[in-house]
Amino acid sequence: MRKCIRDAVVVITGASSGIGRAAALAFAKRGARVVIAARNEAALEEVAAECASVGARALAVPTDVRDEHAVRALARAAVEVFGRIDVWVNNAAVFLYARADEAPYETYRQVIETNLFGYLHGARAALPYFRAQGGGVLINNASVLGKFGAPMMSAYVISKFGILGLASCLRQELASTPGIHVCTLLPTTIDTPIYQHAGNTTCRAVQPIPPIADVQRAAAAMVSLAERPRREVYVGSAGHIATAAIVALARLSEQALAAYVMRATFLHRAAPRTDGNIFTPMKYWTGMTGGWRTTSRLAELLDAARAAARLALALPSTTAERLRPR
């Protein structure tokens, strides 16, 4: 049964840019009342104004999801203003490019604090209201990187693997409350500023792995999950294909995937070391997109199929040298 989004109260973390910003506007256009949260207060106010411009009520609550007390305060603010919470979207995330054995420990830790503990804090804040209401939808924006690893991205990958595990545990714990749904969104590469925001200790310039899907597709998928909750939904053809290849090819696919990711991600030019927005938000790159060239759905499917074919044909002799940035 489809749920009515009009007048629903939707809380979205990480709403100052990227998928979160696009989702806030998508929900607003459907008549939802949106509560938007992020660390960047100025960007949040811009998003609130955009939502108001389409006739929606919007509440901006500056929030650092690493702080459980702040996230609980976000939930209270939503209930105090709108009376309830119908949908909670865990979306805030940061990214780090770094070797697992070389990354600054505190930077590495902060990625996991934001991406995984931030989602746990959101669930712990929302579920008491869902239980009291007898229903609600929790949407965790994870990633296809919650299904398989990638070199130089281990902090992000660990957090996304953890989100899938958290969602599975929550569904089991909530089995006696059928009105509460726990959903996971699994986007492939999406055109957002997260790559401009990323921390990077590799000294190599980076780019998102093609094919790149439009951010509006991810936002639409979030709205779809709120209307018709499902366990997992992929965004982008590459996610299905890559996941299937990993399962089918096991160890071989890990080696081939690593080589492909290194070639597709790291450019042949230097870049300065940076913490990106891991510790503090950036004042720029707060739009929905990162300006990356998106791919049509047909071209995306063809690109994903070609990438899967390269994985299938790759030899197990892929060497560690190909994994090392030059």
* Digit-coded pLDDT (tens) for 6-36: 999 999 999 999 999 999 999 999 999 999 9
Give the pLDDT confidence score for residue 321 in this predicted structure. 41
Per-residue pLDDT tens digits for 213-232 = 999 999 999 999 999 999 99
Q: What is the pLDDT of residues 74-106, one digit of tens each?
A: 999 999 999 999 999 999 999 999 999 999 999
Which residues participate in catalysis according to the annotation?
Answer: 156
pLDDT in tens, 169-191: 999 999 999 999 999 999 999 99
Q: What is the DSSP string of 61-124?
A: EE--TT-HHHHHHHHHHHHHHHS--SEEEE-----EEB-TTTS-HHHHHHHHIIIIIHHHHHHH
CA-wise closest residue to 10 among 2, 18, 19, 25:
25
Q: Say which residue the tokens 């998003």 belong to.
A: 47
Strands (E), the chain: 9-13, 33-38, 58-62, 87-90, 96-97, 136-141, 180-187, 199-200, 204-206, 232-235, 266-270
Residue linked to tokens 């989602």:
119
Q: Please say if the pLDDT value at position 239 is more than 70.
A: no
Residue with tokens 């973390």: 13
Question: What CATH topology corresponds to 9-323?
Answer: Rossmann fold (3.40.50)
What pLDDT is attached to residue 308? 57
Give CA–CA dist 254/148, Å, rounded: 8
Residues with Cβ within 8 Å of 2's Cβ and at least 6 positions away in sequence, in order, are 227, 228
Domain ranges within the chain, ordered by starting residue: 9-323
What confidence category does residue 305 fall into, taking pLDDT thresholds of 50, 70 and 90?
A: low
